[in-house]
Structure 1
Amino acid sequence: MPVQKVLVVGGGITGSVLSLALTQRGAEVELVEISPQWFGVGHGITIQGNALKALRSVGVLDRVLARAVPFDVMRLRHADGSLIAQLDTPHTGGPDLPSTAGALRSDLQNALCDAVHAHGVTVRLGLSVERLADSPEHVDVTFTDGSTGRYDLVVGADGLNSRIRTLIGIETTPSPVGMSIFRVVAPRPAEMDCAEVYYGGPRYKAGYSPISPDQCYAYLLDENLDTSLIGPHAPISLLRERGAGYGGTWGRVISSLPEDTAVDYRWIESVLIDGPWHRGRTIVVGDAAHACPPLIAQGAAMCTEDAVLLAELVTGEMPVDKALEQFMTRRLPRVRMVMENSLQLADWEIHPGTPGADPARIMSETLDSLTAAA
């Protein structure tokens, strides 16, 4: 019997796409988000074709692409900006969609928020889950404000440090990959028409992507620096210091930033629940179940694929337990492949000169394999 009433915990990309997909299939959805305000935040995001396919299935693609920058190639450059190669990128969402789009994360999230409200999803802000009581027929939930609810299914889409994952007794936790990332939004130079990555400099690599008609997202992958730097207000002087040695467009973008530019600095962490992501009628998806280094840019794609497939299966004719088993059968091998290949790329970045290292092959094989349906 298909689920009728679903609680989605977490209002980010995964939870929003899931709420839309469930609602469009006739489920009654309640979404709770721990933040008291719900709107788009963050820096740039790379949306691969299979993520664009998922966004199209829930009706928000046109709005996202109205502001995003689609492209079908990427360029590899030396640290001084000279060209190594231009590569065609696979159309993982099918031939009728761009292979990739760069977007402001806020533009994507705002489109999703508006669509969730327009579809009549009940949204409750400043709230999370305190306790879960699972039974064969339902899940009873006690929220952090003392209120309660009964649901056919509870989905934790509450991110890397998921509370729902802990509440259902899954002990897997995130671990540092061994690299960190500086991220910044900057004015987009006229010549920037696709994502470009700079190799051979003093850090692991630098790069950027156009994300709107007038903005770009630039980043630097570095070793893990002091944890006191972690957050959205790292000094621009530090980014310039660590990025010294990268020229070309990347160097010009960073040098042109004003002194008060907001620089986000994070250690990169990964997590993979290498087994069932569900206990009874509660399941975690998206970054709560799997989060990988951003070296193949499949984070949003894996999360949105989770959401669309889960909605399809739990609103079908299978009993919930069978639907969740089928979901795991289809998702875990695909997610594991992306995770293992992303971690391999990270290891090669951290240990340059590793015999047999071939990042271009791994990236190409991964994206080619993802052209198959999720």
Structure 2
Amino acid sequence: MEQPPGFINPQFPNHVCKLSKALYGLKQAHRAWFQRLSTFLISYGFVCSRADTSLFVLRKESCIMYLLVYVDDLILTGNDSSAIATFIARLHDEFAIKDLGDLSYFLGLEVSYTDSGLFLTQAKYAKDILIRADLYDSKPVSTPLAPHESFTADDLSYSDPTLYRSLVGALQYLTITRPDLSYAVNQLSQFLHAPTVEHFRAVKRLLRYVKGTISFGLTYTRPTTSSIVGYSDADWAHCLDTRRSTYGYSIFLGGNLVSWSAKKQPTVSRSSCESEYRAMANTAAELVWITHLLRELHALPPDRPTLLCDNKSALFMTQNPVSHKRAKHIDLDYHFIRELVNSGKLYTKFVPTNLQVADIFTKSLPRAQFDTFRAMLRLGPPPFRLKGGIR
């Protein structure tokens, strides 16, 4: 490590210090701690996941344990309570840890247990954002953005861009349990470098929507099926400044939402078919990653994943290898979705637009349509009956 300022040896100014121990707060501390922890876990029998390096999986006969690491916070679960207790005791001997019991609060995420599963929310974190913005007593609105609203960079500059960046950055973390905010946050994040008055007005509207849905979260129930279903959609040439398309996807495992995204495509598409096809390719890449993760968790469903799209032309391109003028210029890496379909690893299917739940990630919708898709994501208020709560 470099010599600290003020303690540089004048005789050997270019020499470095030897790091004997990675103290808390140094740049090397995180890597040294993870190496120490992972070495212990691997020696105990865990295997580090290749899909997610912070996940460790142990399987011995019928016993399965999962351990997720975030710096010095650990989540442990499994199907054998005695094996979990034995491992925690061994972990106590190796490290100075504190067992907090059943998972209830983790990195701002609040976990509530219901009769059929889990309920995840960030109500406290959302309240802190509203208090910081001085909008906790504001009047709620029904949707994050006005219907069919679009943004441009041509407007009067906002006087306090630091506040704008702070609020939008905080809202980005809120989307972990609030996929209904993903599209609005994505749009507002594109103007962090030079926000305008119109952009900050949209942030205030978004916060007013959060005020009215502050207790909302995701519900996860025991699945009746183990199928993987993905929805893919794109809004062609949505950006008024660059004419790039916005795409989004939502992926369900056994009816529970496990992955979603709302992004602007990096290149301009010449047709709606092209933008939808690129969106399907990106969704297929996420589906492949999820299947790898589930395989390592020993929970991969036997059926192949299904990808749903509401554009028949893009759907035809995934199933037909014939090249034509509309597809000649598309990057070759996007065509890997054809290989997945031809090899039987992925099934693509048409879905009507009124059932295309990924629409909520590509455009600002009217209230009725927005509420319908939000319910399809299993996003809503907490269940009435919570274990350990007040009925």
**TM value normalised by structure 1:** 0.25
Larger Rg, first or second structure (1 or 2)? 2
Q: Name whichever structure is richer in strand by fraction.
A: 1
Normalising by the residue count of structure 2, what TM-score does the alignment of the two structures yield? 0.24
Q: Which has the higher contact order (CA 8 A, sep 6+)?
A: 1
